[in-house]
Amino acid sequence: MGAFAGEDQGEYVFKIATDTENNVIAPGLYVSAAVHFGDHTINQGAGVYDIFLAKLGTGVLGVSQVPQSNSFIIYPNPMGSETNIYLDEPSVSSATVIITDALGRKIKTYDFKGQLLTIKRDNLEAGNYFIKVIDDKGNVEIKKLLVQ
């Protein structure tokens, strides 16, 4: 039942949102004697589809930032028989390049030293791919690659 646990038959949370004061709000309904939200509990006698609106206080909702590298260049893009990845940052001496398809599946991984990597098309089918470069300092950058 996820983060929201009803004691009897379950609950249905329709949406998690924040109000203008950054309080987390969870509206929904439940068929149970109580609904638990972590340390918070809504007690209600056994009911049939009781409606609730839980105000859970302030909290930060978000994702921490991933450091961004200065840049890399993909050329040619669109890719024919091969393409090059050029690390446009002189202080970077090595990197990992990961190619994923549009669904996020890892297709190929390359570890290389220097600033230039040539990638052969091999079995890459025509379509959209993503190139993720992680340099030796832990910086990450992602760009789109079109294979013709």
Answer yes or no: do 13 and 38 share one domain: yes
pLDDT of residue 2: 40
Q: Which residues pair with 27 in a beta bridge?
A: 53
Assign 90 to helix, strand or coil: coil
Q: Is there a single domain that holds both residue 14 and residue 77? A: no
Residues 140 and 76 in one domain: yes
Are 100 and 35 members of one domain? no
Structural domain harbouring 93: 72-147
The answer, yes or no, to whether residue 96 has pLDDT greater than 80, is: yes
CA 17/CA 111 separation, integer angstroms: 42
Q: Are residues 141 and 82 in the same domain?
A: yes
The structure's pTM equals 0.54
pLDDT of residue 139: 84
Q: Higher-confidence residue: 135 or 17? A: 135
CB atoms within 10 A of CB 92: 19
Residue 45: partners with Cβ closer than 8 Å, 6 or more residues away:
33
Which tens digits make up the pLDDT trace of 67-85?
A: 554 578 899 999 999 999 9
Residue 9 shares a structural domain with residue 49 = yes
Min mean pLDDT across 37-41, 50-54, 69-73, 133-137 is at 50-54
Number of domains in the chain: 2
Q: Say which residue, 46 or 111, is predicted with more confidence.
A: 111
Q: 88 and 32 share a domain?
A: no
Average pLDDT over residues 6-24: 57
In a domain, 64, yes or no: no
Verify that 76 and 45 share a domain, yes or no. Answer: no
- Is the pLDDT higher at 114 or at 54? 114
